[in-house]
Chain A
Amino acid sequence: MSDTDLGPAAVENAAKRTRRLVEKSLKRRYRAERRFRAYGMLAVALGLVFVGFLFSSIISTGWTIFQQSYVQLDIRYDAEVVDPAGERDEQAISTADYSALIKAALRERFPDVEGRSERRSLYGLASDAGQFELRERVMADPDLIGSTQTLWLLADDRVDLLMKGKIDRDLPEDQRGLSDQELGWIDSLLANGRLDLRFNRAFFTNGDSREPEQAGVWGAVVGSFFTLLVTLLLSFPIGVAAAVYLEEFAPRNRVTDFIEVNINNLAAVPSIVFGLLGLAVFIQLFGLPRSAPVVGGLVLTLMTLPTIIIASRAALKGVPPSIREAALGMGASQVQTVAHHVLPLAMPGMLTGAIIGMARALGESAPLLMIGMVAFIVDIPGGLTDPSTVLPVQVYLWADSPERAFLERTSGAILVLLGFLLIMNATAVILRQKFERRW
C-alpha cells in the first residue's frame, strides 16, 4: 500500500485543497439549495392556490342558492276557474287551470299591459311552479275558492338572475335575456316590495325539473341515500368478513395471495369498468331494473369493497397479537377469539374505513351513468327499485344544461354534496381520534 501512502505533508495539503475548493463551491451550492427550496414552496403554493381557486369558484357561483326570487301576488281563487261546476269535485279541482289565477293576478298588477305577446312576457315573470302550489293549497283547503290571498310565488329564473346581479342591466337589450319592458315591470315590483329574495325551499325539497327555479336536490339526495344504504349494508359485512378471513384464518398460500393481488388491483381499476360490469351482469344478465338504487348500490359495493377490506385488514393488524394469545390461552376457539376480542377492538378502525369508503361511493358517478341512473327524474324516489339519480350525477346533469340559471344550481348541488362529504369525513376523523389506541 506504500504507493498510496501520501505522507502527512501531502495529506495536509490535500486537506487544505479540500478546504479551499469547498469554500469556493459554497456560494453556488447555497444558491442551488435556495432554488430547490423555492421550487418546493412554489409547488406547495400552487397546490394551495388550486384548492383555493376550486373552492372559491364553486362557492362564488353557488352560495346564492340558499335564496331565490319570489314575487308577491294577490291571488283570487276565482270559482269560475277553479271549480266552474261548483261541486267541489276533487278531480275537477285538481285538473283546473291554476296558471290562469296567476296570470289574472299579474294582469291586475299591470293593468295597462296590452297585446298577446306583451302579456305573454308579463306572465313569464312568474314561474310555472306557482300553479302547483296554488293547486295544493286549494286541494288542502277547498274553502279558499272564491277568496283572495296574498302569496309569495316563485319568480322566473331570469328574474332571479337579475335579482342576484348575474344579469348585467347595462347590457344591450338583445344580449340581456330580459327586455327593457320586463325590466320596467321588475323595477316596479321591486319598488313596491313585491319582489324579494327569500329562503329557497324549493331547492332543498324538490326533485329535478326542466325549469331551473323549480329544480331541487332532494330527489338526488334521497336517491344517493338509498344507493348508499344498499352499498353499506352489503359492503361492510362482506368487507369485514373477507378481511377477518384473510387476516385471521387464511393460510398463506397461492390462493390467498391471488385473492390479495385481486383486491389490490380492484382498488385501482377505473370505476367506469365497474359500471360496464354492472350493465352487463346486473342489468343484462339478471334483468334488474335500470336507474334503480339497488343496482347502483350493487355496483358501488363491488367498487368500495377493496377499500373496506384493505382498511379493515389494517385495523385487524393493529390489534396486538398478545390479545389473541390471551384469549386462545383461556381456551377460546379461534372463531370466539376473533368474534369476542379482536373484532370489537378493530371495529372503530373498520368503521372509519367504511365511512371513508362510503364517502368515496357518494362522490362516484361514472359507473352509475352506465346503469342508467342518469335519467331525468322529477319524482322523489320512494324505494330501492324506483328510478332515481344520485347527487353527483345530478351535478353532471345540471352542469350540462345550457340555461345560465342552472350554473347556480350546479354549484349549489356541489355544495350540498361537499357538505355531506365533510360530515362523513369529519365523523371518520373524530371516530379515529376517539378510539385511537396505542398499544
Chain B
Amino acid sequence: MQTSTLVLLLLILSAAAYRAGRFRSLSLVGGLRGARNLHSLPGYYGLLTALWCAIPSLLILALWHAVDGRIVTQMVVAGMSSETQALPPGQLSLVLNDVRNLVAGAIPPEMASLEVQAAAERYIRLDSLSRLAAAVVCLSIALGVGGAVWLRISPNLRARNRVETIVRGALIACSTIAIFTTVGIVVSVLFEAIRFFQLVPVTEFLFGLQWSPQLAIRADQVGSSGAFGAVPLFTGTLLIAGIAMLVAVPVGLFSAIYLAEYAARRVRAVIKPVLEVLAGIPTVVYGFFAALVVGPMLRQSGEGIGLDVSSESALAAGLVMGIMIIPFVSSLADDMITAVPRSLRDGSYGLGATQSETIRRVVFPAALPGIVGGVLLAISRAIGETMIVVMAAGLGANLTANPLEAVTTVTTQIVTLLVGDQEFDSPKTLAAFALGLVLFLATLSLNIIALHVVRKYREQYE
C-alpha cells in the first residue's frame, strides 16, 4: 500500500472516529436534549476519539518510515554473496545504488549483473512486505486505541480538558523544535568534524597555511597529508567581510541618519522602501551581479589604470556583499537612532547645539551600543554569506590581504567540497563539516554577543 493512501485512510478513519465519539457521547445522555448532562460539548468527545485514533498511528508510521529503508537495505545486503558483503563501504554503496536504480527503473535490467538483479527483486519483495506490515500495524493501532477511547466515553469524562492537554502538548512539541534544530546542527556538524579531526589534527586545521583539499583524494596521498590548513580561508573570509563592512557600515549608517533625522517625511516614505528592496533580493542575484557585472567591470577599470585586478577579486565580492548588507545596517541603525529618547535631543538643542552636533555627540554615542550590536550581526551575516562568494570569489586559497587578488572563503569551500559526488569518509567531505563547525561557532558567538548588546540597549530606554 502506498504511504499516501495509508495516511489518507488513517485520516478518514479518524474522521469516522470523530463522528462515532460524538454520537456515543450524545446517545449516552439520550440525544441533544441531554447534552447538558455531558461534562463537555459533544464535539470534544469526538475530537478526543479522533486524536487518539490519528496521533499514535501516524507517529508509528513516521517512525517506521525513518527506519524501514535501512532495515530493508541491510536485509538485502545480508542476502548478497559474501564477496559483495566484504566490499569496502564506498563500493558497497555503489552496488546498492545500482540496486536502487534498478528498482526505480532508472537503468534497464539488462545492464545490471545477476546478483544485482536478484538483490533488486529481494528489495522489491521486502519493501512491499514492509509497506504491508506498516499498513496492518498502523491501522490496527488506530482502530485499537481509538476504540479503547471510544469505549471509555462516559458523561463524566472530562473530554475538553483532555483534548486541551493534547493540544497543549502538541504546542509544546512545536516550540521545542527550535531547540532540536540547534542540537541537530551542533551534533551533526560536530560529529562529522570530530571524524575529520581524527584524520587531520585540529592544530593543523586551525593554524596551517596550506589549503588544497583536492590533493587528498589522490591515491598516493594520505588524508592527513598537510593540505588542510584553513588559515587562508579564514583570512579570505575576513578580507571579503571586511570590505563588505567598509561599504555597508558608512553607507548604511549615514543613510539611516539622514532618513531618520533630516529627510522630510514624504521623502523618507519613498526612499526607505526603495533601499529596503535591497534586503529582499535573493543572494544568488547579488552573486550574479558580482560575478558577471561588477567583477568584469573592476577588472576593466583596473586595466585602464594599469592595475592587475583578478576577475574573481575579493573587492568585487566584498563590494557587492556590502551593498547587500546596507539595508540590514541601515534599518538596525534606524531602530537604534529612533530609540534614543527625545529628551536627550532636547537637552542638546537646548544648549544650542546644531543638528549635526546633536547627532554626532549625543544621539550617536547614545545609540552606539545598539549600533555596535547591529554591526556585529551584520558581520555575522557577511561571514556566513554563501552565494555571492561561491559565484564571485575564487577557489584558490591565497593567503593575501590584497583586495585585488582572488581569495577563497569558508563558505565557498564548504560548497565546493560538498557539491557533486561525496564519499562520506573522505577527509575532503568531512573537512566541509569542520569548516561548518568553525562557521557555526563564529557566527553563533557573534550573534549571542550582538543580541545581548542590543537587548541591553533596548532595555536601557525601555
Contact = CB atoms under 8 A, between A and B. Distances in A.
Direct A–B contact present (CB less than 8 angstroms): yes
Contacts of A276: 185, 188-189, 414, 418, 432-433, 436
B189 A363 contact: no
Interface in B323-359: 323, 326-327, 330, 352, 354-357, 359
A390 to B, nearest CB: 10
B284 interface: yes
26 contacts: A32-B356, A33-B355, A35-B356, A40-B258, A42-B254, A48-B271, A50-B323, A51-B275, A51-B277, A58-B288, A244-B171, A264-B451, A266-B178, A269-B185, A270-B381, A277-B184, A280-B188, A287-B73, A305-B177, A306-B178, A309-B175, A362-B282, A370-B415, A399-B288, A414-B288, A421-B280
Contact of B181 (A268, A271, A272, A277): A277
6 nearest A-B residue pairs (beta carbon): A270-B384, A40-B258, A363-B282, A43-B254, A280-B188, A241-B174
A179 interface: no
A274 B188 CA distance: 11
Interface of B: 66, 69-70, 73, 160, 163-164, 167-168, 170-172, 174-179, 181-182, 184-185, 188-189, 191-192, 250-255, 257-259, 261-263, 271, 274-275, 277-278, 280-289, 291-293, 323, 326-327, 330, 352, 354-357, 359-360, 377, 380-381, 383-387, 390-391, 411, 414-415, 418-419, 424, 432-433, 436, 439-440, 443-444, 447-448, 450-451
A165 B170 CA distance: 61
A242 B177 contact: yes
Contact of A281 (B178, B188, B354): B188
Given A33-B354, A265-B448, A395 B284 contact: yes
Interface residues of A, number: 88
B182 A266 contact: yes
B171 A44 contact: no
A363 B184 contact: no
A306 B185 CA distance: 15
A54 B280 CA distance: 13
Contacts of A50: 278, 323, 326
Nearest to A46: B251
A259 interface: yes
A271 B440 CA distance: 10
Interface of A: 22, 29-30, 32-33, 35-37, 39-44, 46-48, 50-51, 54, 57-58, 237-239, 241-246, 249-250, 258-259, 261-266, 268-274, 276-277, 279-281, 284-287, 302, 305-306, 309, 333-335, 359, 362-366, 369-370, 372, 374, 392-393, 395-396, 399-400, 407, 410-411, 414, 417-418, 421, 425
Contacts of A399: 284, 287-288, 291-292, 391
A272 B323 CA distance: 20
A273 B384 contact: yes
Contacts of A366: 283, 386-387, 390, 411, 415
B385 A270 contact: yes
B258 A37 contact: yes
Contacts of B439: 270, 272-273
A277 B188 contact: yes
